[in-house]
Structure 1
Amino acid sequence: MTDNDNDNDNGTGNDTEKSTGAHRTLLVTDLSLVVLVGASGSGKSTFARRHFKPTEILSSDFCRGLVADDENDQSASGDAFDVLHYIAGKRLAAGRLTVVDATNVQAESRKQLVQLARSHDVLPIAIVLDLPEEVCQTRNAARPDRAGMPRHVVQRHRRELRRSLRGLEREGFRKVHILRTEEEAEHAEVVLERRYNDLRHLTGPFDIIGDIHGCSSELESLLGKLGYVDGAHPEGRTAVFVGDLVDRGPDSPGVLRRVMSMVAAGNALCVPGNHENKLGRYLKGRKVQHTHGLAETIEQLDREDAKDPAFREQVREFIDGLVSHYVLDGGKLVVCHAGLPEKYHGRTSGRVRSHALYGDTTGETDEFGLPVRYPWAEDYRGRAAVVYGHTPVPSTSWVNNTLCLDTGAVFGGKMTALRWPERELVDVPAEKVWYEPAKPLTTEAPGGREGRPLDLADVQGRRIVETRYLGRISVREENAAAALEVMSRFAVDPRLLGYLPPTMAPTATSQEEGFLEHPAEAFAQYRADGVATVVCEEKHMGSRAVALVCRDAEAARERFGVEGPTGALHTRTGRPFLDDVALTEVILGRLRTAVTAAGLWDEWDTDWVLLDAELMPWSLKAGGLLRSQYAAVGAASGAVLPGANAALAAAAARGVDVAGLAARQQDRTADAAAFTDAYRRYCWSTEGLDGVRIAPFQILAVRGRSLASVPHDEQLAWLDRLVEHDPTGLLQVTRRLVVDTGDEASVRAGIDWWLEMTGRGGEGMVVKPLGALVRDAKGRLVQPGIKVRGREYLRIIYGPEYTRPENLERLRSRFLGHKRSLALREYALGLEALDRLADGEPLWRVHEAVFAVLALESEPVDPRL
């Protein structure tokens, strides 16, 4: 067995069971392939039934019966074992203990089972029933189905077994238990033991600390910042070290002493890094190259020998006992050194240990002569968060529920820790550059923040996007295909498309007479969610517009890699808002002037800003919709209803009783006129930018910071400054009113404000938690905004006659659940996109979340909601 195959996740050894007289305790790893070995009649099936669940046992006899309807049909053995191996593979892949009940006395049959165990990275364990021949012959004679079995069959089984006994461990079995008498087999006890890497019962809280590399002073500073005193945390938190404690830095022995003492005291856990693995081999007397900082560690250990001769042996034992990775917190967290795909979590093999220590490489080398690492994190879709180190990055960020904590402390970067389950990052700067890196720290790691072009595989097929605020969000394949059509044909330059706004949840259906929507329900919902204060913002009847404004062309080129544009102005589906590129630049220029005049570039410490806004008039972007849908209804009503009214009036003049019908037609005429008036309020002529207005209502993100969680009163104060410093009149204030959801008078004032605004023809308002990003008492994400549309505006949406009592009654049964779910999912994806964009993550990472918003938009939801 090579050093790289030496996995400490479980013990090995022949006859490792404990024994007391006839009583034998057989230790079996809880996830393993148990192979029963013994001659026919040795009692394997009886033993299996006594110690294992029926579903855990795969019997060759039973599989023969499956394929041949006769458990003793030896001609069906080939097919039977194919079935057995297939089922065993499925069970092992699912992480289930599996027991193979067959004679298994031939080396070739055992070889296949050992290979099966290795292919699923579980331990093969042999339990041998080496009972005397006469016992086996007697038992076979007592069984009707085996009474005629020739004696030489058992004799052959016994010979093959005896030849195999000494070599079972060499065949690959990690544990071998041998029972030689009926009494031993009768009194044996199988005890399942937890894998050493399975610490799911430990739920933390944890402080996971990245690569240290001998930087003992920085480690002490970080532990102090995390709240540890003399290696212990007063609140009982547990430190978890991701390895690479040693090499390169000034004091590897000091780091080892601190970590070893914390582990021994039960205050810390530690997994090995590749540098510990190499040091461990050196301490065992193996021949290793003294490179990559090992020479410095050896020199430091030599100096320690004079002070503490036993220390070197203590280090060797400590490293030898380290486990490749740990599964923690009920399976929600995995910690290792170099990262680990989901299929290896909790598994035990040389392959698992190798990946945990070294990661995987593409076989190529970069311009610095270092191996190019395979970006496994890009493909990771596991439920457990994987926290690791190994590959230094300038700053860390989550990638598909994985996080690299090696931020290059020894190279002059910083030392970083993750508080779990808080997911809070804590770091301290390096005191100096202790070791010059072969590769500049500003060159970023694959799978982390290194840029690469967008790839079709990033968005094709069913996707699962990991978000910080709502966990895993799935995108169906058909929705992804629909989004791909829009994105590839109509969207702005993807480098400038960092965010798509979510759909907005409507308020609960009102029971107020004459109303389908009313503010009372929105206030009540937020009160039930525990939101005490909300802000009501005027809803402008325009088209949603997202504006990316860069300080200048250089800023656009540096951050977004574009030549020429200084930003973008796009719709909520990512399409350019205006076909006129020059006119778009004029709008961006006016926004830029306002930001500059308000002094916000310096206040935000940024050279770009992303805003969410309404651009008016509605007719500027929705002209085609107006002509084909709304104007057509108004024109048809104007053409038909006057003639019908005239005919009814003439009939009445002749004495025909048409009063009821005439009244209904008059009501229809009034409804049609109200419909036309409703949509015309939001339409006016523009020439260039004359008549165009933009009402910004949220600052989304700036360099280094997502602002989506900034409370709305602060947001609106910034926006008021923007409007104040706009000399062109392009920007328009968003009116607002703060409401206390628990105060009846305040709620009444909010309702009256809405009634007054919509009575003048306003579209309505959006009610938002003043604190922006809010969770309820159960930790669930609260709707970021609820739209409450005016009575006359809804006439545009539902048709001229929707206010009639019979129509309102039908509409009140509208189903809002899917729309609300969609709004929350898109909101979480939008927040994720903003975080990734602000953190400077690569384009493909930002677009994963942006694309998912667009894909969810193709889910079937009533478009009127």
Structure 2
Amino acid sequence: MNAFVAPRDGYDLIGDVHGCGATLAALLEKLGYHLKDGVYRHATRKVIFLGDIIDRGPRIRLAVQLASRMVEAGEALIVMGNHEYNALAYCRRARLRESGDHRDFLRPHTSRHNRIIRETLDQYQHHPDEWDDALSWFMRMPLCLELPSLGEGKSGLRVVHACWDEALVRPFLARFPDGCIDEAFLQDSVDPSSFAYRVLDRLTRGTSLRLPEGVEIHSGDGFTRRSFRAHFWAREPRTYGDVVFQPDNLPGELESRWLSEGELEKLPYYGPEQLPLFLGHYWCEGVPALPATNIACLDYSAVKCGRLVAYRFSGEATLDAANFVWVPVPREPSSRPLPEELPAEELSGRGEMRG
């Protein structure tokens, strides 16, 4: 792996790819990256991937290849998403615990979990060594990044897949300065009482609030949910509507429901005076917009025929929506963007021309 050298002009942060490998290549080319020796490179800029490279999409292996080659070549950084963590836990056998809690795998192979990872495992079915390499790469992904300024008068930045919770980030980085977990931490992460569970759950999944008893959300992706995703930048939230951050609407009049003291205690707060923060995870829809002056969410549902979105960061302390760059993903496969520089053989096989 080549040593990472900070770029001269800035970073291009890219949201959840979810297996849209050809679309990723098209976005990189739109951003001015060119394929050289099998790696997309830019003369003065580098990429930061926000995690969730895998699952759901038609070109998962291609997406992993493109992103991992850039990271290994020192042309990109990445943080772990909940889908990379899920894959690690799904494929890792659990150690016998003193408590007697024993399971075959860290993430049980339930019908729900099987469904989430099925497309990834199908695409790697005849490439087991490649899948082992991918899992090893997932273990080398940091959970968060805090990067210094690129020069005088420029701001540093922070990157995490779902939620920057200072109360968890600081003790975690004190223990793991490079932000990367080890095997023991991964094993501990399935114990809800552990520090490892709290860190991985909050940083890769964010904060969710339970819906009232008997209330469910039937999502567009076919899952039934009994909680909703909440954001963490409202200064004095009062109602569910002040913090809900997901494409699915809350049922009935729940947006006006008051937050309880217990629910408020679960919500961290990221204020406008803090460094610019970049997130994925939240399945936003529509034209990319900034939820706060120092926060950008770059997950715009690419695999659901939304947009694969990047933000061109050049050190500005106040973010600007004009710096979003994206490639739309039309529903009709023949209309979807294709990269110009990627060799045709890279696009061949299952799912070609689709993502």
TM superposition score normalised by structure 2: 0.60
Distance in 2 of aligned mates of 1:342 and 1:432: 39
Could you tell me how far 1:415 is from its partner in structure 2?
Answer: 0.5
Residues 323, 203 of structure 1: CA spacing in aligned structure 2 closer, same or farther, 3 A cutoff?
A: farther
Q: State the alpha-carbon separation in 1 of the partners of residues 88 and 5 from structure 2.
A: 27
Distance, in Å, in 2 between the alignment partners of 1:321 and 1:353 is 14
User: 2 CA distance for matches of 1:294 and 1:333?
Assistant: 31
Q: Report deviation, 1:292.
A: 5.0
Deviation at 1:352, TM superposition (A): 3.1
Pair 1:326 & 2:145 matched: yes
> 1:331-368, CA deviations, whole angstroms, 9 ceiling, x for partnerless residues?
73111111214444554163333211000111226532
Give the Å deviation of 1:278: 1.1
1:374 corresponds in structure 2 to 230
Question: What is the aligned counterpart of 1:419 among 301, 307, 312?
Answer: 312
Q: Could you give the per-residue CA deviations for residues 782-816 of structure 1, whole angstroms, max 9, x where no partner exists?
A: xxxxxxxxxxxxxxxxxxxxxxxxxxxxxxxxxxx
SS, match of residue 314 in structure 1: helix
Q: Output one character per residue of 1:248-288: Cα deviation in whole Å (capped at 9) or x when no partner.
A: 10011111111111110000111111111111223334243
Whichever structure has more helix as a proportion of its residues is: 1
SS in 2 for 1:417: strand
- Is it true that 1:335 corresponds to 2:163 in the alignment? no
Task: Report 1 or 2 for greater relative contact order, CA contacts < 8 Å, sequence distance ≥ 6.
Answer: 2
Residue aligned with 1:418, SS: strand
Contact persistence 1:213–1:410 (CA under 8 A)? yes
Is residue 260 from structure 1 mapped to residue 68 from structure 2 by the alignment?
A: yes
RMSD: 2.5
Matched, 1:297 2:196: no
Letter aligned with residue 310 of structure 1: D
- Could you say if the C-alpha distance between residues 224 and 292 of structure 1 is closer, same or farther in structure 2, counting changes exceeding 3 Å? farther
Partner secondary structure for residue 250 of structure 1? coil
* 2:302 counterpart residue number: 409
Which residue of structure 2 aligns with residue 276 of structure 1?
Answer: 84
Percent identity for Structure 1 against Structure 2? 28
From 192, 207, 219, the counterpart of 1:360: 207
Compared with structure 1, are the counterparts of its residues 203 and 271 closer, same or farther at alpha carbon in structure 2 (3 Å cutoff)? farther
Deviation at 1:223, TM superposition (A): 0.5
- Partner of 1:317, secondary structure, is helix
| Structure 2 runs not aligned, ≥5 long | 94-104, 150-154, 173-194, 219-223, 236-269, 334-355
Measured in 1, the distance between the counterparts of 2:170 and 2:60 equals 29
1:218 counterpart SS class:
helix
Letter in 2 for 1:403: A
- Kindly provide the CA deviation profile for residues 119-163 of structure 1, in whole angstroms up to 9, marking residues without a partner as x: xxxxxxxxxxxxxxxxxxxxxxxxxxxxxxxxxxxxxxxxxxxxx
Q: Which residue of 2 aligns with 1:588?
A: none
Alpha-carbon shift at residue 427 of structure 1 (Å): 0.1
Specify every segment of 5 or more residues in structure 1 that has no aligned partner in the other structure, as ranges: 1-198, 435-865
Asked whether 1:243 is paired with 2:51, we answer yes
Aligned-partner residue type, residue 409 of structure 1 = A
Distance in 2 (CA, whole Å) between partners of 1:373 and 1:218 is 27
* TM-fit CA distance, 1:204: 5.9
Partner secondary structure for residue 302 of structure 1:
coil
Tell me the CA shift for residue 377 of structure 1.
Answer: 2.6
Q: Are the aligned partners of 2:165 and 2:203 in contact in 1 as well (CA < 8 Å)?
A: no
The number of aligned residues is 232
Residue of 274, 278, 281 corresponding to 1:390:
281
Change (3 A) 1:347 1:221: farther
After superposition, the Cα gap between the structure-2 partners of 1:398 and 1:358, relative to the gap in structure 1 and judged at 3 Å, is: same
1:204–1:329 Cα contact (<8 Å) kept: no
**Aligned-partner Cα distance in 2 for 1:204–1:324:** 24
Contact persistence 1:327–1:345 (CA under 8 A): no
Secondary structure (helix, strand or coil) at the match of 1:326 reads: strand
Contact preservation (8 Å) 2:7, 2:46: no
The 3-state SS of whatever aligns with 1:269 is: strand
1:800 equivalent in structure 2? none
Structure 2: how far apart are the matches of 1:248 and 1:293? Answer: 7
Alignment partner, residue 440 of structure 1: none
Residue 430 (structure 1) aligned to one of 329, 332, 346: 329
- Tell me if structure 2 keeps the 8 A contact 1:208–1:419: yes
Please tell me the residue identity of whatever aligns with 1:415.
Answer: L
8 A contact 1:416–1:427 mirrored in 2: yes
Q: What does 1:222-237 align with in structure 2 at a 5 Å threshold?
A: 222-230=27-35, 231-237=39-45
The code of the aligned residue for 2:279 comes to Y
Residue 399 in structure 1 maps to residue 249 in structure 2:
no
CA contact (8 A) 1:335 1:386 kept: yes
Q: Supply the AA of the counterpart residue of 1:222.
A: L
Which amino acid in 1 is paired with 2:138?
Answer: I
Distance 1:203 1:361, change over 3 A: farther
Contact kept in structure 2, 1:252 and 1:300, CA below 8 Å:
yes
When residues 433 and 249 of structure 1 are mapped into structure 2, their CA distance, relative to the original with a 3 A threshold, is farther
- Matched ranges for 1:40-189 at <5 A: none
Q: Aligned to 1:239, what secondary structure does the other structure show? A: strand
Classify 1:362/1:283 alpha carbon distance in 2 versus 1 (closer, same or farther; 3 Å): same
* Aligned residue type for 1:414: R
Whole-Å Cα distance in 1 between the matches of residues 55 and 109 of structure 2?
14
Shift of 1:207: 0.5
Counterpart contact for 1:201–1:328, Cα < 8 Å: no
Say if 1:376 and 1:233 are closer, same or farther in 2 by CA, change over 3 A: same
Is the contact made by 2:51 and 2:81 (CA closer than 8 Å) also made in structure 1?
A: yes
TM (normalized to structure 1)?
A: 0.26
Deviation string, structure 1 residues 747-772 (Cα, Å, up to 9, x no partner): xxxxxxxxxxxxxxxxxxxxxxxxxx
The residue identity in structure 1 corresponding to 2:14 is I
Deviations 1:500-552 (A, max 9, x none): xxxxxxxxxxxxxxxxxxxxxxxxxxxxxxxxxxxxxxxxxxxxxxxxxxxxx
Query: Any idea what SS the aligned residue of 1:238 has?
Result: strand
- Alpha carbons 2:47, 2:75 under 8 Å: kept: yes
Give yes or no for contact 1:362–1:372 (8 Å, CA) kept in 2: yes
Once residues 327 and 313 of structure 1 are traced to their aligned partners in structure 2, the CA distance between those partners, rounded to angstroms, is 29
The question of whether the paired residues in 2 share the 8 Å contact of 1:301 and 1:312 is answered with yes
Please list, as runs of the form range in 1=range in 2, the aligned pairs for 1:268-667 lying within 5 A after superposition. 268-285=76-93, 286=105, 287-289=108-110, 290-303=113-126, 305=127, 309-330=128-149, 332-348=156-172, 350=196, 351-364=198-211, 366-368=216-218, 369-370=224-225, 371-379=227-235, 380-381=270-271, 382-394=273-285, 395-400=287-292, 401-421=294-314, 423=320, 424-432=323-331
- Report which of the two structures shows the higher radius of gyration computed on alpha carbons: 1
CA offset digits 1:30-78 (Å, max 9, x no partner): xxxxxxxxxxxxxxxxxxxxxxxxxxxxxxxxxxxxxxxxxxxxxxxxx
Aligned partners of 1:218 and 1:431 also within 8 Å? no
Secondary structure, counterpart of 1:310 in structure 2: helix
What whole-Å deviation, never above 9, does each CA across 1:717-743 have from its counterpart, x for those lacking one?
A: xxxxxxxxxxxxxxxxxxxxxxxxxxx
